[in-house]
Amino acid sequence: MMIMGGTNIGATLVMVLVALFSLLSFEPMVVEARPPTVIIVGAGMSGISAAKTLSDAGIKDILILEATDRIGGRMHKTQFAGLSVEIGANWVEGVNGAEVNPIWPMVNKLKLKTFLSDYDNLTSNTYKQAGGLYDGATSKAAFEASDELTEFTTKTSISLTAQKKEDISILAAQRLKHQVPSTPIEMAIDYYNYDYEFAEPPRVTSLQNTEPLATFANFGEDLYFVADPKGYESVVYDIAGQFLTVDKTGKITDPRLKLNKVVIEIQHSASGVIVKTEDGSLYRSAYVMVSASVGQWKILALYQFDMSVYTKIFLKFPYKFWPSGNGTEFFLYAHEKRGYYPIWQQLEREYPGANVLLVTVTDDESRRVEQQPDSETKAECMKVLQDMFGKNIPEATDILVPRWWSNKFFKGTFSNWPIGVTRYEYDQIRAPVGRVYFTGEHTSEHYNGYVHGAYLAGIDSANILINCAKRRMCKYHIMPKGT
């Protein structure tokens, strides 16, 4: 029986889930002999973090159902031209600050190779569409104007919050200073400041919830790029190995993790939960914790929370034709079309001698390149590189274009906080509905969109469930509107 508790938006969500998958009849029950206390849907960082928190609290009769054939979700390495590259999360973002980013000690414990990203010298590394670098004076003036603009928008954000005023977009804040980035170099820098972080343009991004950004304010300004054959995902495997049985080769053999189990329906009542998977299995439990990403669960339709798209295109060349050495890691391409192959990274330190470049596109450009053959994307990249470095450059021998938006289990890359969603509405995303609990980066209180957000959200959501399961404290208090 479906419980439609109260007026909570979450309740609507669960109804929608059921409606979406419109299941009419149940096949014969394939339910486990002894139902676990908690079923966790999804084995990405947040699901694994939640499961470990439950296990540490003594709730060890859990069952993790994961749609794909692996754990880690949006943390995923792949082989590209003989190298191990990350198609999902790549950086530990927010390091060397007042507080320690919880992911940083994990990465170091596993001795993953990391590289401090050096964005300092972009003034000297910004290319014109017509070719060649901008001269020092032009470039310096544009970067300084951008710094002043950011200072202004951040101050505006803080003052709006202090006055309990309504949120505005970052673009609206820029308009208040009559300084909307509009030349190619201004747009390239603006893209670097915002889209490169949030994967959506300032027009849609919330000012109040992104400036200042908790990740950098609390954990520090530095970003470390993970480039290690073990993969960034080994952090998730390490957490999993702390509570699931693993064999000598490091493979998880624990029966409490089931891979290739696509959850298509969740039903709940006062007495328990039934979870149905695509293969017709039914699993019973006392509680369920849903960690699948926003795009997939249509939360975005309900909460207007955006699932953005961020695409990391890797290209390999027979030899280097770009500058290398200190102060050259990142370079910008200032095209008249905002967001057209704007941010480049040469990976000489990370993959010495491999002659690999990484270019990032987002949003509409991501959706466009996902739908065209890689050969076309490669041709576009070659044209851009010829603009920057001249016609006499070698053809790329290999290209990798990840497709997160087209992937039905993700439908995008990470959540972005759009203008118009208040803290009150946001808080409802993680509010449990009866016996259904929610986690995932999009439910993180301060760090949505990040690996550390997913990790911390897993702990927080698990603790809400533990309070109910062990202490009968099942009421979840949503912060009142306007606080």
Ligand X SMILES: *[C@@H]1O[C@H](CO)[C@@H](O)[C@H](O)[C@H]1NC(C)=O
Cα–Cα–Cα angle for 342, 156, 210, nearest 5°? 50
CA distance 395 to 215: 39
Q: How far apart are CA 269 and CA 76, in angstroms?
A: 36
Output 163 or 326, the one with its CB closest to ligand X.
326
Residue 340 binding: pick among ligand X, ligand FAD, none (C-beta 5-8 Å cut-off by kind): none
Contacts of residue 91, Cβ cutoff 8 Å, sequence gap at least 6: 117, 223, 224, 225, 226
Supply the minimum distance, in Å, between the C-beta of residue 165 and ligand FAD: 29
Piece of 249-257, 288-296, 299-307, 379-387 that binds ligand FAD (CB under 6 A): 288-296
Which range touches ligand FAD (CB under 6 A), out of 146-154, 177-185, 362-370, 409-417? 409-417
Q: How far is CA 155 from CA 151, 165, 168, in A?
A: 6, 14, 13
| Residue 174 CB-half CA count within 13 A | 23
Contact call for residue 263 and ligand FAD (CB under 6 A): yes
Spatial contact of 93 and 441, defined as CB atoms under 8 Å apart: no
Judged by beta carbon, residue 434 or residue 458, the one nearer ligand FAD is 458
**Which of 89, 275, 419, 466 is the binder for ligand FAD (CB under 6 A)?**
89
* 206 close to 167: Cβ distance less than 8 angstroms: yes
> Please, which residue, 309 or 384, has the CB nearer to ligand FAD?
309
Give me the sheet containing 330-334, strands edge to edge: 126-128, 330-334, 343-346, 356-362, 310-316, 398-400
Q: Is 151 a catalytic residue?
A: no
What are the backbone angles phi and psi of residue 72, rounded to the nearest 5°? 110, -25
Q: What is the H or E stretch that residue 285 is in?
A: strand 282-285
Q: Does 154 contact ligand X by CB under 6 A?
A: no
Measured in whole angstroms, how far is the alpha carbon of residue 146 from the centre of its chain?
Answer: 26
Q: DSSP letters along 321-364, please? A: -S--STT-SEEEEE-SSTTSS-EEEE-TTTSTTS-EEEEEEEHH
Please give the angle made by the CA atoms of 319, 227 and 373, to the nearest 5 degrees.
60
- For ligand FAD, the closer CB: 41 or 207: 41
Helix (H, G, I), strand (E, B) or coil at 245: coil
Q: 271 labelled as ligand-binding?
A: no
326 binds ligand X (CB under 6 A): yes
Establish if 45 lies at the interface with ligand FAD (CB under 6 A). Answer: yes
Identify which of residues 58 and 327 has a Cβ nearer to ligand X in the complex: 327
39 is a site residue for ligand FAD (CB under 6 A): no
Following DSSP, what letter does each residue of 122-164 receive, concatenated?
GGGSEEETTSSBPPHHHHHHHHHHHHHHHHHHHHHHHHHHHTT
Determine, following the binding rule CB under 6 A, whether residue 121 of this chain makes contact with ligand X: yes
Q: Binding of ligand FAD at residue 74 (CB under 6 A)?
A: yes
Cβ closest to ligand FAD, residue 42 vs residue 181: 42
Task: Put residue 413 in one of left, alpha, beta given phi > 0 → left and psi -120 to 50 → alpha.
Answer: alpha
Which tokens in the block code for residue 155? 């101050």
**Considering only 18-26, 68-76, 117-125, 430-438, which stretch makes contact with ligand X by CB under 6 A?**
117-125
Closest residue to ligand X: CB criterion: 327
Instruction: Decide if residue 212 touches ligand X (CB under 6 A).
Output: no
| Smallest distance, ligand FAD to C-beta of residue 291, A | 5
Which range of residues in 11-19, 73-81, 201-209, 469-477 is near ligand FAD by CB under 6 A?
Answer: 73-81
- Is 67 assigned a ligand-binding role in the annotation? yes
Q: Residue 324, interface with ligand X (CB under 6 A)?
A: no
Q: Which of 250, 327, 390, 394 binds ligand X (CB under 6 A)?
A: 327
**Is position 137 annotated in a ligand binding site?**
no
Asked if residues 212 and 97 have their Cβ atoms less than 8 Å apart, the reply is no
* Candidate segments 371-379, 393-401, 408-416, 475-483, binder of ligand FAD by CB under 6 A: 408-416
Could you tell me the strand order of the sheet in which 114-116 lies? 91-95, 222-226, 114-116
Q: Please, which residue, 16 or 393, has the CB nearer to ligand FAD? A: 16
The active-site residue, picked from 27, 32, 86, 93, is 93
* Contact partner, 450, from ligand FAD, ligand X, none, Cβ < 5-8 Å per class: ligand FAD
* 46 labelled binding-site residue: yes
Chain positions contacting ligand FAD, by CB under 6 A: 41-47, 65-68, 73-75, 88-91, 93, 262-263, 291-293, 296, 310, 312, 404, 409-410, 413-414, 440-441, 449-451, 453-454
- Binding-site residue set for FAD: 46, 66-67, 263
Chain positions contacting ligand X, by CB under 6 A: 121, 124-125, 323, 325-328
Active site residues: 93
